[in-house]
Structure 1
Amino acid sequence: MKKLYYFGHSVKGSCDGGSSRNKAFRSSFLKKKAIMVPIYNTNLFIRFGSLLNVLRIMILSKDNILFIHQGTLIFLFPISILKFSWIRVLVFKLIQHTVNRNDVTIEVNDLPYEQAIDLELFVEETHKIFQDQLYALKNAKYVFASHEMGKYVYDTFKLNYKVIINGSNEINESSDSGKIHECFNSTETKFIYAGSLNKGRQIEALISIFSNRKEILILIGEWGEWMLDYKLSSNIFYLGKFQEEHAHYLTSKCDVGIIPYDETRFYYNICYPTKASFYITAGIPFLSTPLLELKNVFEDSGIVYFVPFKEWESFINDFDIASFFDIKKRIKNEKYKFYWNDLLN
């Protein structure tokens, strides 16, 4: 009888889109009674023991089904050691050996090399080598987090792939921890950005657009501490990081979500931001720049505003609150399509 193995990792305290996706897949595989193979642990001895267990399974497993995240492979075989060509050769011989003897699916949430270029992060050339060798594996299957990402990789490697976009969960009303910030009680239109707030995601430009307006801008998420020293106008609120369930609940108290990513950058056009499903399942539409992957999914849905970033100020000035209520009704009927349970089933 075939065994089903799930290889995953979870970093405590992390609540970004990738972590949310990993958590959803893990829950799905638990329901399928998969053999869970955890990878990450802060205790180095436990982590080393996990590595030995993974190596044992990869070497000995035959005629089984294995599912592993690309990010989990990077935890197993860090880029810092894959810089050495002889180690890379051994690692990919091992992975190909496992693929040859089993039904292996690799889940791809991000393309770290292309992402680093567009987010102006340090570009690690070894990431490019790793990706190229990973997508060139013979007989492996792949699951990508967006249609455009899958197409982009397929054009080069002609691999066997499917797409599961990033989803979200139903609002958990019990996550209401009582008193919330007064900005959520404002009668003005409330726009919210929920997600990573590090520089390079147009956050400064977003703040500039909303400065000294009557509309409210709420910013929640990781890596926004730099804003504590930033002079924000009285209608802009940086509230820091929350647990995912509570952040989702707070988002449902707002009117419009925000995705301000630069539409001229390649990576933003091929990724599917987790926050898109996060907003829709919170019951609110979102305002986005005209990003290719998001247009693929939402352009004809009537529940999303696509506006070039240079026109956002005019859009906010002319915001039609009457049409907004019609959109919210449509979202109520459509949001189930973006729940993790439906996507993963």
Structure 2
Amino acid sequence: MNSLYLISNTKKTIREGGMARNKAFEDELRRRNAKIFTYTSMNFYYRVFIFIKTLFFLFFVKKSTVVILQNTFITYIFPLPFFKYNLMIKFIEKILKSTLRKNIVYFEVNDLIYEQSIDLKLEINPNSLIYEDFVFKLPNIKFIFASHKMRDYVVEKYNIEFKNTQVILNGAPEILTIDELKKENSLQNAKPIKFIYVGTLNKGREIEKLINIFENQHHELYLMGESGEWINLYEKKNVVYLGSFGEHEALLKTSQFDIGVIPYNLAFYYNLCYPTKNSFYLSAGLPILSTPLEETKNVINSLSDSIAIFAEIKEWKSLIMDLDKSKIISMKKNVNQIKQKVYWSTILSHLKIEVFS
């Protein structure tokens, strides 16, 4: 019988950071000979079946190490609406406390759902705060956070023992072949400078403000990701929506540009998190233009002090207009010296999992 288990969910095609993280954890835990429970469908009957199957597993598993990904937990096992009801919360608590008594349990936290909803101006699910208050107060559970400042915030708010936490930053895949690497440098000397934003493009992520910055600019902005069809309505010649692609294809396409951008405002949550696109840009060989987000700035500067430009969004228009191509080329060379540090294989090699022997 296995002594290491991972409960995860993925999609066939990886198009956003959350699924990329789940897939990376699956690959790493599979390498460590874990038994993987991967949930893939949102079909109602499938989810009922998975719910019952997982309940039995959590109740009867013993002398094992169980790693649970947050996204899977609130999608397939105990969805957020469950936390609306006190009776259901007591039931969930009984199941999980039973699991915790007999096993070592790691809970991976990729986002703080409640805080994220507030700062991204998304619809706030009141159950998300109840869920967070519940899960972060569970006894004897170990947490894997996606950023240092997120960890620090939760440790302080819920008085969690620091020794029961660790940080695994969001990483990126690697461009593997020589031909692909040649593509990465094919546009280095082309003009104008080609900026790219990769990520979910729904409104509320400063995308509109970013597009307006390129008004009357001779440089170009390209955007790639889901939910970006509305961008074509702007009809700007130097702003192009490329569409949405699978992770590997998106990485290859990104490598053909000059610099990646992160235009997020300085809201509380953006300062806590470490966006996947940081590592994605670096893996593609691109330097970064970002607002001075605390976690992003701390991590990037720990890698090198010459691979990113940090400036408040109000300064971007003049900064972009004056940006010199030779500076970008120099920064690209610096990125190529450190980019292996952001590969998922490097980052997840530091994942500490205590396993029953």
Q: TM-score, normalised by structure 2?
A: 0.90
Instruction: Determine the structure 2 residue equivalent to 1:162.
Output: 166
Q: Is the 8 A contact 1:171 1:281 kept in 2?
A: yes
Q: Is the 8 A contact 1:337 1:343 kept in 2?
A: yes
Distance in 1 (alpha carbons) for counterparts of 2:339 and 2:99 = 39
Q: Which ranges in structure 2 are unaligned for 5 or more consecutive residues?
A: 350-357
Partner residue of 2:86? 85
2:288 aligned partner: 286
What is the DSSP-based 3-state SS (H/G/I as helix, E as strand, rest coil) of the residue aligned with 1:234? coil
Letter in 2 for 1:41: S
- 2:334: which partner in 1? 330
Q: Give 1:8's aligned residue.
A: 8
| Counterpart contact for 1:148–1:293, Cα < 8 Å | yes
- Post-superposition shift, 1:34? 0.8
Structure 2 Cα separation of the partners of residues 322 and 238 of structure 1? 26
Q: Is the 8 A contact 2:196 2:261 kept in 1?
A: yes
- Structure-1 residue corresponding to 2:228: 224
Q: CA RMSD in A?
A: 2.0
Distance 1:144 1:252 in 2: 28
Provide, for residues 209-250 of structure 1, a one-character-per-residue CA deviation record: whole Å limited to 9, x for no partner: 11232111101101112223x223111101111111111111
User: How many pairs does the alignment contain?
Assistant: 338
* SS in structure 2 of the partner of residue 212 of structure 1: coil
Identity of aligned residues (%): 41
* Offset, 1:12: 4.5
Cα distance between partner residues in 1 of 2:250 and 2:112 = 26
Partner of 2:277: 275
Aligned to 1:187: 191
Distance (Å, rounded) in 1 between the aligned partners of 2:136 and 2:16: 25
Moved more, 332-341 or 205-214: 205-214
Q: For the residues of structure 2 that align with 1:81 and 1:47, how far apart are their CA atoms?
A: 14
User: Equivalent of 1:250, from 245, 248, 253?
Assistant: 253
Give the alignment of 1:1-345 within 5 angstroms: 3-13=3-13, 15-75=15-75, 76-159=77-160, 160-172=164-176, 187-228=191-232, 230-263=233-266, 265-299=267-301, 301=304, 302-345=306-349
Give the residue type in structure 2 aligned to 1:24: A
- Change in Cα spacing, 1:46 to 1:73, as seen in structure 2 (3 Å) is same
Tell me if the contact between 1:190 and 1:218 (Cα under 8 Å) persists in the aligned partners.
yes
AA aligned opposite 2:282: I
Measured in 1, the distance between the counterparts of 2:217 and 2:157 equals 47
Does the CA contact (< 8 Å) of 1:9 and 1:22 recur in 2?
yes
What CA deviation, in whole Å up to 9, does each residue of 1:290-310 have, x standing for no partner? 000011111352211111110
Distance 1:184 1:343 in 2: 28
Contact conserved, 1:38 with 1:50, CA < 8 A, in 2? no
Contact 1:2/1:65 (8 A) holds in 2: no
- One-letter identity of the residue aligned with 1:53: K
SS at match of 1:19: helix
Change (3 A) 1:19 1:70: same
1:281 counterpart letter in structure 2: S
Aligned-residue offset at 1:60: 1.0
Q: Could you say which structure has the greater relative contact order, defined with CA pairs below 8 angstroms and 6 or more residues apart?
A: 2
> SS of the counterpart of 1:299?
helix
How far is the alpha carbon of 1:168 from its aligned partner? 0.2
